[in-house]
A and B are shown apart, each in its own frame.
Chain A
Amino acid sequence: DAKTTQPTSMDCAEGRAANLPCNHSTISGNEYVYWYRQIHSQGPQYIIHGLKNNETNEMASLIITEDRKSSTLILPHATLRDTAVYYCIAVNAGGTSYGKLTFGQGTILTVHP
């Protein structure tokens, strides 16, 4: 799986958009970009994923650059409950590694009042 690089930590004011960057310059054509988050010691929670098009769901938006070497997760109106560790993961679409997630250290997002 391709390695991803994220900033160690970020801050965001409540109500503002949180933009979390991720570099994945070695991503291959069949690898998706997934975002998960982990609130305190809870189980990781799926946020969104994409291959090459931008994606949006009820939680967030995912912007993937045209060359697919980087992406940005956008939480449009961050709340205190969005304080968590956010993981950007490149995931192989098939084979015996189907679904296997290789977590890095992620980005600690702190949303403050």
Chain B
Amino acid sequence: EPEVTQTPSHQVTQMGQEVILRCVPISNHLYFYWYRQILGQKVEFLVSFYNNEISEKSEIFDDQFSVERPDGSNFTLKIRSTKLEDSAMYFCASISNGYEQYFGPGTRLTVT
């Protein structure tokens, strides 16, 4: 069964550093998403991406965040200058033109 993959599984970084989280969505999917989950809290929508542009973004997704689909397979989330409060699990998801959203296993980001 096709699956969404994410790398790395765990990223540790120092406050103020840039991080790039990588995702490989399912190959024929058209819509891409990033969510995050702070430990013990609910899953929060960050951004949706379609046709090489952002469709919608949440209030969390400020100027420190950016997304890119640099080639036909990868979908990345960049945080320019990490803060302690960015520590969370980040999930990538994708969908074709159907309804079932497939989530990756997540990247645990720890900012020290």
- In the bound assembly, the distance between CA atoms of A96 and B53 in angstroms comes to 11
- Interface size, A (range): 20 to 34
Q: In the bound complex, do residue B42 and residue A46 qualify as a contact, i.e. CB atoms below 8 Å apart?
A: no
Q: Are B48 and A43 in contact (CB under 8 A)?
A: no
Instruction: Report the minimal beta-carbon distance from B88 to chain A, rounded to whole angstroms.
Output: 11
Confirm or deny: B25 has a beta carbon within 8 angstroms of a beta carbon on chain A: no
Q: A41-B106, A43-B93 are known contacts. Are A101 and B99 too (CB-CB below 8 A)?
A: no
**A15 CB-CB contact with B under 8 Å:** no
The verdict on A101 contacting B42 (CB below 8 Å), with A42-B106, A44-B91, A96-B55 known, is: no
User: Per-residue CB proximity of B47-59 to A under 8 Å, as 1/0?
Assistant: 0101000011000
- Chain A residues numbered 97-113 whose CB sits less than 8 Å from any CB in chain B: 97-106
Q: Which of under 10, 10 to 19, 20 to 34, or 35 or more describes the interface residues of B?
A: 20 to 34
A38 sits at the interface (CB 8 A): yes
* A100 with B45: CB separation less than 8 A: yes
A41, B89: Cβ atoms under 8 Å? yes
Q: Note all chain A residues with C-beta closer than 8 A to B50.
A: 98
How distant is B78 from chain A, measured CB to nearest CB, in Å? 20
- Are B103's CB and A100's CB within 8 A? no
Q: Name the one of B33, B43, B48, B102 contacting A46, with C-beta atoms under 8 angstroms.
A: B102
Residues of B within 8 A of A100 (CB): 33, 45, 48, 56
A35 to chain B, nearest CB (A): 11
Residues of A within 8 A of B63 (CB): none
* Complex contacts, A102 vs chain B, CB 8 Å: 45
| Contact status of A43 and B56, CB under 8 A, knowing A98-B31, A100-B33, A100-B45 | no
* Residue in A closest to B105 when the chains form the complex, CB atoms: A43
Which residues of B come within 8 Å of A, CB atoms? 4, 31, 33, 35, 37, 42-45, 48, 50, 55-56, 89, 91, 93, 95, 99-106
